[in-house]
Chains A and B, each alone.
Chain A
Amino acid sequence: MSTPRTGKSALLRPPRADLSGRDPEFIRAMLPRLWLVANLWFRAEVRGFEKVPDEPVLFVGNHSGGAGTPDTFVFLLAYNTYMTVEGRPLFSLGHEMVTSLPLIGAFARKMGVVTADQDAAANVFARDASVLVYPGGDVEALRPWRDRHRIVFDGRKGFLKLAHRAGVKIVPVVATGGHDTLFVLNDGRSTARRLGFDRLLRIKSVPMTLSIPWGLLPGGLPQVPLPSKIRIQLLDPIDLRDRFGDEPDWDEAYEFVTSVMQSGLSTLAAKTVIPVLG
């Protein structure tokens, strides 16, 4: 998952950002089994949907769990359960690596994941729907385990401009536990640059990871997640136009949103008694 892209990878041929790929009947059929997984495996807690205004919004989350991103699917489950499958649709902007994968890519697209693209996001808002983005993308999803309670957006501000241009509020979503489903041992950004993964695959981080069934592996493949407890908290909406005006200082807006989310994430993390167990 990632922020709307500005470039293209040299090797991937991701599916077009086609909004018609979302399948409400498929989502409805998936909800019970996803609910079981979320409750029994992850003991998931999702709080704060009462804060979401009845209008299209941009959900902005912190990304965790490597290529597995279990908290994303818990959030999609929660949204479609609480906000209804028939109601305002939610589309999640995803990294082309995810939407390109066989099986997983098809599943993700039916759940409402589309290849990250500025035009795709604008089309979603034009359809009175909401968007979920993870500005930190793969850099945050593969941040070191020691930084699991840090917001790592890597300076990306595209999501701010997207929300401001579309005139929608940002609803921050912070989550813990997703990064306990595997162990990321180091920061892999310099490795990705040296190997040229950024240019070839738009992968900006290749750390060493420890996961099931791969064991010790450079980079991240979808893993069997450890049964960590996942907590997700929605925070109060942020109206960029109201707070920063028609011509925001993007650096200031970025600092504010990440400050709100860091405070919220640290507060949520304080509920953890023992990592993984919850």
Chain B
Amino acid sequence: MSATARARVHVDLPADELRAFVRDPHAALPVITGFGDFVHHRDAPAAGRQEWDVIYHVGALQLGGRVEIDTSRHDGIDWRSLRGTRHTFSLTVTEDQGQIEGEDDGESQGGSVLSLEMRLSLSGLLMARIAERTGAGIMRRHLEAAAEQLRHHAEWCR
């Protein structure tokens, strides 16, 4: 079983500039401090891949483990867990075509949209389902925080 959480935010920055920022884990990951701690482990043998140790501050526990980050995508990054909490994560930058509702009446604003998605997999049946549903809410709030931190840094702090 798995639970998926998503967050997205409009960023007042051309998509190409934002992509250049978020596709560099050494630049982007230290910004999302509320999300977790990130430590570079090594560059993986495959081109465009890096191994990082991640620790998520989720509720009363720290979750995480070692992940392999794929930076070869042109519009963002993905990672998958190698050990520890089984999960995947993706961060994608697209042109803003007015897809964020509630901001500027959904009309095109220019700039870009930063989308984050995390999928968590737990073993078990009923208890795993309850834990996943609870975890999905926590994950969504963490993703929203990460998205806002990246947006603020990209717009004002570079």
A residues sitting closer than 8 Å to B (CB atoms) are 149, 256, 259-260, 262-263, 266-267, 269-270, 272-275
Q: Quote the shortest CB–CB distance from B32 to chain A (angstroms).
A: 9
B156 touches A274 (CB 8 A): no
Contact partners of B138 in chain A: CB under 8 A: 270, 272-273
Known contacts A259-B155, A266-B149, A273-B60, A149 near B141 by CB under 8 Å: yes
B-side interface residues, number (CB < 8 Å) = 19
For B87, the chain A residues whose CB sits under 8 A away are: none
Kindly identify which residue among A149, A256, A263, A275 contacts B149, using a CB–CB cutoff of 8 Å: A263
Residues of B near any A CB (own CB < 8 A): 34-35, 57, 59-60, 134, 137-138, 141-142, 144-145, 147-149, 151-152, 155-156
Given contacts A273-B60, A274-B134, contact A263 B35 (CB under 8 A): no
Write out the residue numbers on chain A whose beta carbons fall within 8 Å of the beta carbon of B145: 263, 266-267, 269-270
Give the docked Cα–Cα distance between A24 and B97 (Å): 55
Least distance between A168 CB and chain B CB atoms (Å): 21
- Which of A256, A259, A266, A273 lies in contact with B144, CB distance below 8 A? A266
Q: Judge whether A260 and B152 touch: CB under 8 Å.
A: yes
Q: List 14 A-B contacts (CB under 8 A).
A: A259-B151, A259-B155, A262-B148, A262-B152, A266-B145, A267-B145, A269-B141, A270-B57, A270-B141, A270-B144, A272-B138, A272-B141, A273-B59, A275-B137
CB distance from A255 to the nearest CB of B (A): 8
**How far does the alpha carbon of A269 sit from the alpha carbon of B139 in the complex, in Å?**
11
CA distance A274 to B133 in the complex (A): 11
Q: How far is the CA of A270 from the CA of B137 in the complex (A)?
A: 10
Q: How far is the CA of A263 from the CA of B137 in the complex (A)?
A: 18
Q: Chain B residues near A275: list those with CB within 8 A.
A: 137
> A263 to chain B: which residues have CB within 8 Å?
145, 148-149, 151-152
Q: Which residues of B contact A273 (CB under 8 A)?
A: 59-60, 134, 138
CA distance A149 to B148 in the complex (A): 11
A275 to B151 alpha-carbon distance, docked (Å) = 25
